[in-house]
Structure 1
Amino acid sequence: MQKRAIQVGYSVSAQVRPLINITPELRQAIALLQMDAGELGGFLAEQAARNPFLRLRLPGHGSSSHHARTDPAQDLPADGTSLIAHVLDQLRFCRIEPNERHAAQILIDALSPSGWLERGLDELAQDHAVPSARLETVLKKLQTMEPTGLFARDLADCLRLQLAERGQMDPAAASVLAALGVLATGGDQALAAETGLPLCEVRRVLALLRQLDPKPGGGFTFDPPRQIVPDLILERRDGNWHVAMNRSLLPDLRVDGSLFGKLGPEARRDMRAAYGTARWIVEAVERRHRTVLRIGAALVHHQSGYFDHGPAGLSPLSQRTVAENLGLSESTVSRVVNSVHLQAPDRIVALKTLFVKQIAPASAGKPLTTLQLCQEIQALLGPAAPAEPLTDSRITQILNERGFSIARRTVAKYRALCGIPCVKDRQRPPSGSLFLAGT
């Protein structure tokens, strides 16, 4: 077997060609593409403090209608084990309507590290001038997230949600949960006296409760929603979507050439490198902005159905396709979309969420994305009779009849990703029967 020669800095192929030399300037240009607007401002402030020829004006607060804000009710995927990232990842499956997004943001902002709400709905409704009924409606949707118990109002509510999911919620359990505070002060006998239940029944319920997780958010790190500064603005004009750079929230940067011109010959020699660096930084930032705008406009053009109709309008799209269409490298597209956000009329959108995989090829039926598959599965299981839930095989059959060419194992995978248990766990006992611990 012939060994392939390996040389540092060179690629061995039909012709020996030097690889691109990763200069400090190129390395910095790559770093600029990976910065969001907020990080870019911090970087430029640091450079302006070091370089006398850089003039920087950071965006002021309240100078435009396109403000930086925390916006958890957007289609962001999870990044790591953060509780907020985990919630945002599942938010897309909760069927939040456009008029409910603000309520969802309020409730996510009120989430504590335990996974419970820190404040009551009436208090939140009053503080944010939102109808309590709307918060109640959205809360029920958010409580469908996994792990079960997230967005509970208190400990009893957290345990109730988990018992209900197991099919173990019965009148005895309801009575114990309603009087749960007595347990801490008087023990199980006081709880039996308070509820009027036999002591053995109280202990049976308590045994069930001990199997549950009182703090479903405890398995995650807790990072409050971060401030998002959108690089791009999306507006509807003359029936079409238009994308522009959000200049009002981007740093205003320029080179002070007049200062360099005022220097004497000796000082000019000493400061020429700093002056050149200042010019390079300004040009590199402008190149970043042009690249961001091109990629953002291409994404909006391809995914206009998403902005018209919501997540159901997403079309299959890969980073490679965008890179080839724009004449850019796939790595450049990846760096930009992983850091840039777009301010749409009703939400802030992370560009990376506009890329979706196609599960079934168009030649084998209708094209189907991962999000659309989850929505199809949820729509099928929502109205199904609880005593006769649909199996993965039956779901697959129905989807194939609708023109989606998809395998049963794929349906099973995405059913689980949607947080929907298997058919056995979705079956409920006949009316009047109980699920006992250990059965």
Structure 2
Amino acid sequence: MPHRQRIGVTTTQRLNLSVALQASIRILRADAAGLTRYLEEQAAENPALMLGPPPASDWLPRWDAMFQGREPPPDHAESAAPSLIAHVTDWLSRQGFTAAETRIALALAENLEPSGWLGAPLARIAAETRRPQAEVVAVLTRLQRIEPAGLFARSLAECLRLQALAEGAPDPVLLGVIDNLDLVATGDIARLARKLGVTDPAVAQAIRSIRAMNPKPGTSFDMLAAPIREPDLIARKGDMGWSVALNRSSLPSVEVAPGRGKGQGPARAVLRLVEARNATLLRVGQEILRRQQAALEEGAARLLPMTMADIAAALGLHESTISRVVAGTSVDTPRGTLWLRALFSARMGDDSAPGLSAAALRARLAELIAREDRAHPRSDEALARLLSTEGAVVARRTIAKYREMQGIPPAHRRRLRG
């Protein structure tokens, strides 16, 4: 049968993104580090786009809070998160401690704060374990090798020194600055430089290194926590309530060279995109944090149900815009650096607790486990019953799922035997 050619008409749709739209999407999705890389690429190709150093800024909120009280933590501090305890006990099981050393190590672990600092004096640990204080000191020294560096510190200076030593051969200027945190808190760089016999820029560089450290390494086990880094936003609480601002020190300054050269138009376009990104990020961040003020003050257990569709509707933006803005961006708060995305959580699936989010329930579960008697930890069934008495009807299998999501082992593995 002879082959016949046929001519037909079909319709297809194809989405072609313009260069400007691609750049807009990339900038909108970028965190501070990603946006800095993009600007450096553009400046390398276009001399009309000029980058300068970021503006100077004060200490971030977490540092402000630390400098307000640098003394060792109180004796009766809140218990550390169960995921932190699980991390420590797993490390302990692989270190070859003797039975006596294990008892001391478990007593020290029991006194960890959520910050990762040790919340009891060594004399009390020695009395509780009935061991000489010199042995407690020796075990503590071994425990302070655990990652992340800074755990089991007894003061801010010790916490920072442990982190500096973990990086290898530390800069002596950095160690000198750590030993003089009182001068760092006052911002008197010139006086500190004279005391250490070094230049002002050397002290400024050491302070920048300290800012990249984590004064509360235990908070990295918090379900909301972001890695320590330069945050995109800064949230502070003042007399008039919470305020949210861009962290200008995380980005280089951007200018367009004067003149009417070939690159001026593209450079101004990049500048407009950056300004639009910053404005959108600030609007989104302010709306998210306005709704989640209780979580900023009291932790994840106070997270309210909130979706990206809620924020999009409130701001008149598309949901995909919200998703791009919060991808990888963070906010620095007195509780630490938090992911914006982690502040979203769906409402629980039933009507037993309409104001309870799934994230808040996970946080409450973690709190209950953190405060349990570690010699007699609660089973998943017991935890489900306890949460149900608080108004959240939840099944045992849900408890198991949420526990596993947070890296918390089952009851038989949480039991500590001294």
Structures share fold, TM-score greater than 0.5? yes
Q: Residue in 2 aligned with 1:259?
A: 259
Secondary structure in 1 matching 2:348: strand
How much does 1:318 deviate? 1.6
Given candidates 293, 299, 323, the residue that maps to 1:334 is: 323
How much does 1:292 deviate? 0.5
1:156 is matched by which residue type in structure 2?
F
Show the 5 A alignment for 1:21-420.
Answer: 21-59=16-54, 63-66=56-59, 131=72, 144-146=85-87, 148-150=89-91, 154-156=95-97, 160=102, 228-256=229-257, 258-260=258-260, 271=262, 274-361=263-350, 363-381=351-369, 390-420=378-408
Q: Distance in 2 between matches of 1:49 and 1:64?
A: 26
1:394 is matched by which residue type in structure 2?
A
1:150 is matched by which residue type in structure 2?
W
Q: CA contact under 8 A between 1:360 and 1:405: conserved in structure 2?
A: no
1:373 is matched by which residue type in structure 2?
L
% same residue: 29
Q: Distance in 1 between matches of 2:72 and 2:273?
A: 48
Q: CA contact under 8 A between 2:244 and 2:285: conserved in structure 1?
A: yes
Q: Residue in 1 aligned with 2:114?
A: none
How much does 1:291 deviate? 0.9
**1:17-62 deviation digits (Å, cap 9, x = unpaired):** x64x3111111111112222233223213322321322322215xx
> Which TM-score applies when normalising by structure 2?
0.57
How much does 1:288 deviate? 0.5
Larger Rg: 1
Q: Distance in 2 between matches of 1:315 and 1:324?
A: 17
Q: CA contact under 8 A between 1:143 and 1:149: conserved in structure 2?
A: no
Q: CA contact under 8 A between 1:359 and 1:406: conserved in structure 2?
A: no
How much does 1:343 deviate? 2.5
Note the residue ranges of structure 2 that are not aligned, 5 or more in a row. 1-8, 107-134, 136-145, 149-166, 168-211, 214-226
1:232 is matched by which residue type in structure 2?
L
1:353 is matched by which residue type in structure 2?
A
Going from structure 1 to structure 2, the CA distance change for 1:237 and 1:405 (only over 3 Å counts) comes to same
Q: CA-atom RMSD, angstroms?
A: 4.7
Q: Residue in 1 aligned with 2:125?
A: none
Q: CA contact under 8 A between 1:143 and 1:151: conserved in structure 2?
A: no
Going from structure 1 to structure 2, the CA distance change for 1:30 and 1:428 (only over 3 Å counts) comes to closer
Q: Distance in 2 between matches of 1:137 and 1:364?
A: 29
Q: Distance in 2 between matches of 1:240 and 1:287?
A: 26
Q: Distance in 1 between matches of 2:396 and 2:21?
A: 48
Note the residue ranges of structure 1 that are not aligned, 5 or more in a row. 11-17, 74-97, 103-128, 165-177, 179-214, 218-222, 261-267, 432-439
**1:200-245 deviation digits (Å, cap 9, x = unpaired):** xxxxxxxxxxxxxxx999xxxxx99876222222233443212122
Q: Distance in 2 between matches of 1:367 and 1:132?
A: 34
Secondary structure in 2 matching 1:353: helix
Q: Distance in 1 between matches of 2:317 and 2:284?
A: 9
**1:393-437 deviation digits (Å, cap 9, x = unpaired):** 3332332232112222112212333444435556799x9xxxxxx
> Which TM-score applies when normalising by structure 1?
0.55
**1:115-148 deviation digits (Å, cap 9, x = unpaired):** xxxxxxxxxxxxxx764988x9988977513484
Q: CA contact under 8 A between 1:340 and 1:351: conserved in structure 2?
A: yes
